[in-house]
Amino acid sequence: MNFDTLELSKSMRRLLLLLLILPMALLVMGVYGGLMQALFRAGIVTSDPFVGGEYYRGLTLHGVINALVFTTFFAVAFGHAVITKTLNKALNERWAWTSGILMIVGTVMTALTIFAGRADVLYTFYPPLQADFFFYLGLVLVVVGSWIAFFTWIPPYLEWRRENPGTKTPLAAVGIFVTFIVWFIASIAVAVEIIVLIMPWVLGWVDGINAMLARTLFWMFGHPLVYFWLLPVYVMYYTMLPRLAGGKLYSDTAGRLVFFMFIVFSIPVGTHHQLMDPGISSEWKLIQGFFTFMVALPSLITAFTLAASLEYAGRKRGGKGLFGWMFKLPYFDTSRWLFAYFITGLILFIFGGISGIINASYQMNAVVHNTAWLPGHFHMTVAGPVILGMLGMSLYMVAKLTGKKIRMKKMVLAVPYVYSVGLLMMSWGLMRGGLQGMPRRTNTGLTYSNPDSALYRADWQLFTDVVVVGASIMFLAMVVYFVAFFLTLVYRRAEEPSMSFGWTESVHESPTPVRWLHNFRPWVIVALVLIFVTYAPVMYDVTTSNYGTSPRYGPDSPAPRVSPSPQSEDLPPPSSSDAEAGDERAERLDLLIE
């Protein structure tokens, strides 16, 4: 089918450039914040003048910019381009710009509250940690803006379907729609958390908040968020990587199946982040743990499909023997520099996926829960294929949208390889330290990495040092990338702007649509049924548990107080023997620390 012929209007090119360049500028601070986290944890630095000297402020900045802002802006910009080019349909520019403006205003609002020190709540913003009202309002605007972008794609898609009955929807368009179907359904949960629970609490309309309910709503959104990050990169893997390698996609049908499976299995899995949380029945944790294993299936299908596609390309380029095709792929071809960003991310994702299976295992999760293992896995997954894919495609799109040649192309080609070495080192240090009990979300430089502290752990220092070395290598690679990105922007135009993608062909492709892979509706219906079945009992548990509500956490309350439940009001006061036993336990703890 002939597509990718419609050119973007000048207005749309400007919008896409804005959505790509602004978050890239913010990403400079986000990457800097990541390096500072490693230095803080190692005790090399104790304050950061750029973010007010606060470890948790820097951690919040790093998470919000890298994991929420950069990824959402990229997904919207990439989606605009893919839908326009694959369907040959112009988008409603007024609504597209409305979407972009809302996202920009929301980002500025959120960033200002973080820099002002009024939102040190990390990117998960768990209550009873409380941020400024405008932090939450900014996040809401970003999400609503992304919804509007998604809605602008639906009318041209329906029009395309009417004009092309019996024709398969282009695979890239399927991937983008699946990405935002998952995002829309999942982000409803976090919208409810923020608007219904958090905002009234922040404004003082209610005295406390159900922290467990808020946490459950966040993870109903938080794990599908991973697939919102990952799926745009899957679009690149399936529709561009095989052609960059010099071959074809092995199976178009397998790609469609993978995307539709993500609709069904992405959302009813969030409770596996709460396996150690009270208030949720074990059987429902186990069921969602089972679905977490199910969501690994599309990734396994992807691994086999892409491996077959790369083998096809390698053999077409002259590869012989069982593994000879691997050495014929264009790893260091500057004319195909984008291949390096895709292949390194794909390799890293193997390790990220394996470690994710461990997190979903009920027993093994008890070992790694709340340890440095988690950010080790998280970075292998998100900072690997997601960030590398988005970095490569951002530079590619900016060059196409401006008509400029990419500067420092040899250095650009080297970036993903150097970055991957650093990421492997950093993630290994975090995960290996986590297995020894090293905690996450903790400024270990003040205690466990401080020889003057009673809590000093000499056995963790090797892992902490490896993290610092790995993070420093990643930072240097990113500095090179940023220089090349912004140099490309400021140099003179070399040709007329023309946004185009090199779509791949398929080795095995059905000439007519497979009926059950041709319609989004049944997959969405099945997904909604699964969400209800798996989350209705969980929501019942967390709303009926006798934990009461929590006030705002503050420095004067090291442990959040809980409002009394009806049952606890009838309990007798503690006896003198209870108090003496408590004093004895406290004395033993003091002796242990000494």
Task: Please confirm, yes or no, whether 273 is among the known catalytic residues.
Answer: no
Catalytic residue from among 73, 135, 157, 227: 227
Catalytic residue from among 215, 379, 407, 457: 379
Task: Please confirm, yes or no, whether 378 is among the known catalytic residues.
Answer: yes
Cα–Cα distance measured from residue 280 to residue 257, given in angstroms and rounded to the nearest whole number = 33
State the virtual CA torsion across 24, 72, 173, 395 in degrees, nearest 10.
10
Tokens at residue 534, please?
């798996």
Catalytic residue from among 441, 482, 520, 547: 441
C-alpha closest to that of 88 among 148, 149, 172: 172
- State the angle between helix axes of 282-294 and 337-360 in degrees (0 to 180), rounded to the nearest 10: 150
Tokens at residue 403, please?
């008509």
- Phi and psi of 403, rounded to 5°? 75, 25
Name the β-bridge partners of 249: 506
> Is the peptide bond between 497 and the residue preceding it cis, with omega within 30 degrees of 0?
no
Q: Are residues 384 and 345 in contact, defined by beta-carbon separation less than 8 angstroms?
A: yes
Catalytic residue from among 223, 272, 273, 432: 223
Task: Please confirm, yes or no, whether 227 is among the known catalytic residues.
Answer: yes
Catalytic residue from among 41, 80, 272, 377: 377
Burial of 98 (0-12, 13-18, 19+ CB in 10 A): middle
In the chain, count H helices and then E strands: 21, 2
Contacts by residues 78-81 (CB-CB < 8 Å, ≥ 24 positions apart): 78/176, 78/232, 78/235, 78/393, 78/397, 79/149, 79/150, 79/153, 79/176, 79/179, 79/180, 79/232, 80/12, 80/15, 80/16, 80/19, 80/149, 80/153, 81/8, 81/16, 81/397, 81/499, 81/501
Cβ atoms within 10 Å, residue 158? 11
3-state secondary structure of 247: coil
- For the annotated catalytic residues, the residue numbers are 223, 227, 377-379, 440-441
